[in-house]
């Protein structure tokens, strides 16, 4: 499994590509928000993120002994002057 990382240089910069078998994605406050792992002879893949009903169980199965609690997902406000568009 590969992961491609886009640096602070931003979109359009060359990604850093790494061969991995597990990745943990954390917020700035160190809270785990997503994991992905590749395992077994068939290279099965498991992906889970905060909000999934079994997220903490997945963390435990991957040997990550932390619990993530999420009861509200808050997104940033749109920038000043942004037009809000919604589907019918």
| Residue 9 falls inside a structural domain | no
- 43 within domain boundaries: yes
Q: Flag whether 85 is in a domain.
A: no
pLDDT tens for the chain, 88 residues long, are 999 988 877 777 888 999 999 999 998 888 899 999 998 889 999 999 998 999 999 999 999 999 887 666 667 788 888 887 776 6
Decide if 50 is inside a domain.
yes
Spatial neighbors of 10 by CB under 8 A, at least 6 apart, are none
The reply to whether 25 falls in a domain is yes
Q: Is residue 74 part of a domain?
A: no
Residue-number span of the structural domain to which 39 is assigned: 20-67
Residue 83 lies in a domain: no
> CA 68 to CA 86: how far, in whole Å?
31
For the four alpha carbons of 79, 82, 87 and 88, in that order, the dihedral sign comes to positive
Residue 13 in any domain: the answer is no
Structure token pair of residue 88: 């019918």
Split into its structural domains, the chain has a count of 1
């Amino acid at each position: 499994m590969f992961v491609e990382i886009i640096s602070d240089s931003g979109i359009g910069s060359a990604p850093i590509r790494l061969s991995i078998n597990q990745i943990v994605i954390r917020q700035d406050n160190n809270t785990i928000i997503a994991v992905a792992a590749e395992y077994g002879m068939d290279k099965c893949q498991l992906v889970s993120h905060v909000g999934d009903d079994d997220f903490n169980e997945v963390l435990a199965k991957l040997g990550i002994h932390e619990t993530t609690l999420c009861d509200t997902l808050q997104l940033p406000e749109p920038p000043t002057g942004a037009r809000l568009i919604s589907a019918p």
